[in-house]
């Protein structure tokens, strides 16, 4: 396979999905912190009880984002089992609690603020992208090795 095709295939199969996942996670982290900041600054009666859980899950989301970045640097942009675990756990312990907490705060205040929409949107994108990433097929290791040997020749 010519070098140009190998580079293009590598870019399509490794870098684009990795960049998509990283951008979705970064936006989700930003959405979580912006929403937490709004809830703290607004300090509407009855909403103060949600401040601690929002803070805790914003930290959880940030930790998963940091693990994602570390996984990229350690393992490279290719799909691996660690990245799949991180994405799966981020969905369950980062995105789902944000959906629930945002719904609870919205129900308590009876207003659907722009920051709530932003938080739900970024969490939804991250949830969808991570879910799609989890169901993508992983290339078998022996196939990867054969392709690398062919490109070396």
User: Highest mean pLDDT: which of 45-54, 71-80, 81-90?
Assistant: 45-54
**Can you give the pLDDT at residue 149?**
53
Query: From the centroid of its chain, how far is CA 76?
Result: 17
Whole-angstrom distance between the N-terminal and C-terminal Cα of the chain? 9
CA 48, CA 22: separation in Å to the nearest integer?
31
pLDDT tens digit sequence for 86-120: 888 999 999 999 999 999 999 988 888 999 999 99
**Can you give the pLDDT at residue 138?**
63
CA 67, CA 73: separation in Å to the nearest integer?
10
């Amino acid at each position: 396979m010519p070098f140009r095709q190998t580079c293009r295939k590598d870019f399509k199969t490794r870098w684009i999905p990795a960049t998509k996942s990283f951008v979705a996670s970064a936006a989700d982290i930003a959405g979580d912190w912006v929403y937490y900041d709004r809830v703290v600054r607004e300090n509407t009666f009855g909403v103060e009880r949600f401040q601690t859980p929002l803070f805790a899950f914003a930290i959880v989301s940030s930790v998963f984002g940091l693990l994602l970045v570390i996984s990229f640097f350690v393992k490279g942009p290719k799909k691996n089992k660690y990245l799949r675990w991180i994405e799966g756990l981020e969905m369950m312990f980062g995105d789902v609690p944000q959906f629930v907490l945002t719904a609870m705060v919205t129900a308590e205040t009876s207003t659907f603020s722009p920051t709530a929409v932003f938080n739900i949107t970024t969490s939804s994108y991250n949830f969808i992208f991570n879910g799609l990433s989890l169901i993508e097929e992983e290339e078998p290791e022996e196939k990867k090795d054969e392709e690398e040997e062919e490109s070396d020749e």
